[in-house]
């Protein structure tokens, strides 16, 4: 019990760390609440994000994507993930590289009795991070500067209950908080004044996800797994500080001669869209698994204060799985490594300059057993990689090629217990 209390307190320490992180390098994070960071579990992301139907064959892996898919969790699981993201952004004229390293996931989960599982999770929810300098965009001698910083973070609690040998139900409630800051500046050559927009929005709201999972053992140790989730859309409040003004700079790069054209401050209504996912996996117990996930977000209903962009519905399709050569292998360490693979395609629901922004990637990962724990539930050093593309260079837009490296540790509770004998 002392270990679990200590682990929960460590979440509080990490709150300050995760709050200050810069986790996005994409100009497309300027839309909506920013670039989504909720699919941050390294095991699931290495399989293309195949989380809705992922019920682990091992006894110390927790699933926070579908809170119902935790029937096999029988030991306390401590999980930490660190990501390093590299992005190359190209237009028809220029190219730039950016990178960022950040804490992507911190979780603790454990069984309570024979049928219940609980857990807590801390991770980025969304993030914005971009610097864009555009010249002569439609108007000769015009210069436009765009800058975005900030993000939202989520602290979630998960509960899962096995109602029978085959069915499980689950729920996850998260508190999401943070702020988003966006600056836009437009200037014309030889003009006396610069036009600028500063938009800061602060959020604090609850997020709700319901889940169901089905786990059926078939002949010859084959297993069928089915999962579904529903994220509840609802109205939220946003504290808005919006300033549209004209000004110029002095020699100390300070704004002077400020003339306010429009100023908005106060609490305004926003709306989060609902989403649902469905997934199916099939495989052989402790040997291999292959599955597919589909997620749909009713993004058409997304409403952000002081945002006139028309969002369209968003969907994501993923295929992936894992392979374990020989769980009983003793001749070679490589026989006991879990090999993960996946691919996904996402229509972001963003139509910019008459072009739909799509994203797709290949993913892969390794689960490297640590220590001498039992064969069905070893602690793991997890490695993952994601290689993908987002956007296009057509119609004056930006094409991004990205490579994301992920390193994670999943420890079971025996790592933190004193030895009783040698």
What are 319-354's pLDDT values in tens digits? Answer: 999 999 988 877 888 999 999 999 999 999 999 888
pLDDT of residue 308: 86
User: Strand 77-90 and strand 355-370: pairing?
Assistant: unpaired
- Residue 255, domain CATH: 2.40.160.60
> Does any domain span residue 77?
yes
> Does any domain span residue 343?
yes
Count structural domains, the chain. Answer: 1
pLDDT digits (tens, 9 = 90+) for 248-271: 888 888 888 788 999 999 999 999
Distance CA 194, CA 125 (A): 34
Host domain of residue 230: 2-416
CA angle in degrees (0–180, nearest 5) for 46-287-70: 60
Distance CA 387, CA 402 (A): 6
Q: How many residues does the chain have?
A: 422
pLDDT of residue 333: 87
> Does any domain span residue 334?
yes
Element (H, E) at 10: helix 2-19
> Does any domain span residue 124?
yes
For residue 263, which phi and psi values (nearest 5 degrees)?
-135, 125
Residue 188 has pLDDT above 90, yes or no: no
pLDDT digits (tens, 9 = 90+) for 2-51: 444 444 444 444 544 444 555 566 888 889 999 998 888 999 999 999 99
pLDDT of residue 363: 98
Kindly list the distances between the CA atom of residue 253 and the CA atoms of 247, 249, 250, in Å, as whole numbers in the listed order.
12, 5, 5
Average pLDDT over residues 160-182: 96
> Does any domain span residue 421?
no
> Does any domain span residue 422?
no
pLDDT of residue 1: 47
Answer for the pair 24, 390: CB distance below 8 angstroms, yes or no. Answer: no
> Does any domain span residue 324?
yes
Distance CA 231, CA 118 (A): 19
> Does any domain span residue 305?
yes
All residues at 6 or more sequence positions from 416 whose CB lies less than 8 Å from its CB, including other chains: 3, 78
Answer for the pair 227, 278: CB distance below 8 angstroms, yes or no. Answer: yes
């Amino acid at each position: 019990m002392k270990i679990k209390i200590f682990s929960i307190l460590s979440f509080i320490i990490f709150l300050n760390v995760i709050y200050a992180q810069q986790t996005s390098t994409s100009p497309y994070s300027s839309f909506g609440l920013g670039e989504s960071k909720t699919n941050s579990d390294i095991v699931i992301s290495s399989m293309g994000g195949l989380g809705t139907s992922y019920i682990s064959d091992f006894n110390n892996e927790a699933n926070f994507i579908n809170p119902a898919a935790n029937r096999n969790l029988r030991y306390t699981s401590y999980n930490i993930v660190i990501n390093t993201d590299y992005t190359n952004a190209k237009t028809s004229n220029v190219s730039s590289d950016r990178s960022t390293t950040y804490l992507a996931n911190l979780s603790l989960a454990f069984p309570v009795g024979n049928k219940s599982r609980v857990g807590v999770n801390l991770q980025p929810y969304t993030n914005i991070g971009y610097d864009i300098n555009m010249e002569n965009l439609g108007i000769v001698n015009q210069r436009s500067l765009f800058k975005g910083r900030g993000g939202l973070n989520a602290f979630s609690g998960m509960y899962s209950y096995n109602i029978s040998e085959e069915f499980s139900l689950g729920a996850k409630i998260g508190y999401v908080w943070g702020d988003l800051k966006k600056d836009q500046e437009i200037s014309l050559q030889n003009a006396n004044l610069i036009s600028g927009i500063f938009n800061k929005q602060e959020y604090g709201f609850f997020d709700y996800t319901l889940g169901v999972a089905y786990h059926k053992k078939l002949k010859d140790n084959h297993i069928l797994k089915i999962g579904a989730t529903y994220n509840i859309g609802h109205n939220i409040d946003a504290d808005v500080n919006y300033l549209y003004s004209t000004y110029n700079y002095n020699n100390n790069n300070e704004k002077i001669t400020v003339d306010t054209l429009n100023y908005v401050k106060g609490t305004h209504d926003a709306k989060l869209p609902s989403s649902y996912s469905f997934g199916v996996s099939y495989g052989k117990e402790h040997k291999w698994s292959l599955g597919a996930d589909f997620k749909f977000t009713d993004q058409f209903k997304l409403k952000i204060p002081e945002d006139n962009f028309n969002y369209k519905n968003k969907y994501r399709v993923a295929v992936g799985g894992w392979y374990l050569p020989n769980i009983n292998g003793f001749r070679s360490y490589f026989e006991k490594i879990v090999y993960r693979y996946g691919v996904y395609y996402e229509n972001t629901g963003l139509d910019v300059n008459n072009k739909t922004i799509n994203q797709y990637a290949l993913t892969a990962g390794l689960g490297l057993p640590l220590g001498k724990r039992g064969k069905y539930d070893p602690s793991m050093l997890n490695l993952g990689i994601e290689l993908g593309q987002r956007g296009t260079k057509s119609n004056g837009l930006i094409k991004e090629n990205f490579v994301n490296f992920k390193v994670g540790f999943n420890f079971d509770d025996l790592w933190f217990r004193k030895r009783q004998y040698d």
